[in-house]
Amino acid sequence: MENILKIKNLNLFFGKYQALYDINLALKPKSMLALVGESGCGKTMTAMSIIKLIPKTANIKSGEIIFKGEDLLLYKEKQMRKLRGNKIALIPQDPMTSLNPLYTIGNQLIEAIRTHNDVSERQALRKAKEVLDLVSIPDIENKLNYYPHELSGGMKQRIIIAMALACNAELIIADEPTTALDVTIQKQIMDLIDEIKNEFGTTILLISHDLALVSNYADYVSVMYSGHIVEKAPADKFFKKPIHPYSMALLNSLPSKNPNLKLKTIEGAPPSIQEEIFGCKFFPRCEYYKAGICDKKTPQLLEKEIYHYSACFIK
Ligand SMILES: Nc1ncnc2c1ncn2[C@@H]1O[C@H](COP(=O)(O)OP(=O)(O)O)[C@@H](O)[C@H]1O
Ligand code: SF4
Ligand SMILES: [Mg+2]
């Protein structure tokens, strides 16, 4: 199956400091790819590069972002605006970055629908109700008149998902969509995103620092560390036997993996982009580190087992 999205050798800088190194990602239609890693690894910058909403100080030096055969990096802002919220929808960590506090839910949905479709207000209203029903918003007639602040965090995320549905998004980028929510609500929102994938064939790029959450939903996993993809595999292979020492350390720090043991967290923190580290960026924290090998060159992402890639000299 052809990929709906392909990121090729994406390099992003803040001034002279590099935040993304030769990122390669491919998303198959109707699948969910999870991009995981600790905070600061470059997940959000990767996601924002796709819809070209990177900070003003960020600079994409090279790379391609091929969405349905076209390189979005060559698109003008006007073309991007057509794509955003239409073919490609973003579910951010904080729903208020997508909702306008000054307009009711109904008005925002109708506006979004009419921006992307040539329909009357009545048809848009009907569509709005339909998608609110799909995302299980109770008491829809009333909720249409609510302002965002009158809804809980989970309900607001449902509204944003409804907007993506209303505009027939083909790709949903969910950047830590449940991080701000209570644990019980987290599962409901993830179940809803998963249902949308299965029901409508929407492709999902799920960004998360939470491997336990990812293990329940993702079809493919790519692990990021310090601006590099260090491991990628189909989810079943990845969770059965992670190869890269960073992934192993992440998995070992999961409570479900180690119910009786004392949790082992990874010592230290990822480096900042200003920090210069020769060789493998993970070496200061790595159990398998070999001096003279790991600190000389950057390990390349290589296929170690069928469809299972790791960027490590040792593993
Ligand atoms: N506006 C910015 N200016 C400078 N550096 C930034 C900016 N935004 C992000 N960064 C840096 O880029 C790196 C990647 O950030 P990000 O993609 O947000 O990480 P993640 O989403 O994985 O937590 C981090 O080291 C972060 O400090
Ligand atoms: S290359 Fe070396 S330091 Fe890096 S993850 Fe592999 S063993 Fe650890
Ligand atoms: Mg982020």
Atom of ligand 2 nearest to the CA of 313: 1
Contact 121, 114 (CB under 8 A): yes
Contact 312, 305 (CB under 8 A): no
Q: What is the DSSP string of 137-188?
A: -SSHHHHTT--GGGS-HHHHHHHHHHHHHHTT-SEEEEESTTTTS-HHHHHH
Token pair in block for residue 210 = 């939470």
What residues contact residue 24 under an 8 Å CB cut-off, 6+ apart? Answer: 7, 8, 9, 10, 229, 301
- Kindly state the helix (H) or strand (E) to which residue 18 belongs, with its residue range: strand 17-27
Atom of ligand 2 nearest to the CA of 287: 8
Token pair in block for residue 52 = 């070209």
Token pair in block for residue 163 = 């907007």
Token pair in block for residue 196 = 């949308």
Cβ of 266 below 6 Å from ligand 2: no
| DSSP type of residue 37 | -
> What CATH class has 5-97+170-310?
alpha beta
Token pair in block for residue 150 = 């009158």
Give residues whose Cβ lies within 5 Å of ion ligand 3.
Answer: 43-44
In terms of Cα–Cα distance, which of 312, 313, 307, 310 is closest to 26?
A: 307
Which ligand is closest in space to the CA of residue 17? 1
Residue type, 139: D
Q: State the pLDDT at residue 254.
A: 76
Which ligand is closest in space to the CA of residue 266? 2
Token pair in block for residue 171 = 């790709």
Q: What is the pLDDT along the chain (315 residues), one digit of tens a residue?
A: 689 999 999 999 999 999 999 999 999 999 999 999 999 999 999 999 999 999 999 999 999 999 999 999 999 999 999 999 889 999 999 998 889 999 999 999 999 999 888 999 999 999 999 999 999 999 999 999 999 999 999 999 999 999 999 989 999 999 999 998 998 899 999 999 999 999 999 999 999 999 999 999 999 999 999 999 999 999 999 999 999 999 999 998 877 655 555 556 788 889 999 999 999 999 999 999 999 999 999 999 999 999 999 999 999
Residue type, 86: N
Q: What are residue 275's phi and psi, to 5 degrees?
A: -75, 135
Contact 198, 26 (CB under 8 A): no
C-alpha 304/C-alpha 83 separation (Å) is: 37
Question: Mutate which of 7, 17, 41, 93 to test ligand 1's pocket (most atoms within 8 Å of Cβ)?
Answer: 41
C-alpha 282/C-alpha 167 separation (Å) is: 41
Atom of ligand 1 nearest to the CA of 45: 17
Cβ of 242 below 6 Å from ligand 2: no
Q: Where are the domains of the chain?
A: 5-97+170-310
Can you list the alpha helix ranges (DSSP code H) found in the chain? 43-50, 77-83, 105-116, 121-134, 140-143, 153-166, 183-200, 211-215, 235-240, 245-252
Kindly list the protein residues whose Cβ atom lies closer than 6 A to any atom of ligand 1.
14, 19, 37, 39-45, 55, 57, 272-273
Atom of ligand 2 nearest to the CA of 283: 3
Cβ of 286 below 6 Å from ligand 2: yes
Residue nearest to atom 6 of ligand 2 (CA): 312
Cβ of 245 below 6 Å from ligand 2: yes
Q: State the pLDDT at residue 266.
A: 82
84 φ/ψ sector (left φ>0, alpha ψ -120 to 50, else beta): beta
CA 271-276-279 angle, 5° bins: 90
Q: What are residue 230's phi and psi, to 5 degrees?
A: -105, -20
Q: What are residue 10's phi and psi, to 5 degrees?
A: -80, 125
- Kindly state the helix (H) or strand (E) to which residue 112 belongs, with its residue range: helix 105-116
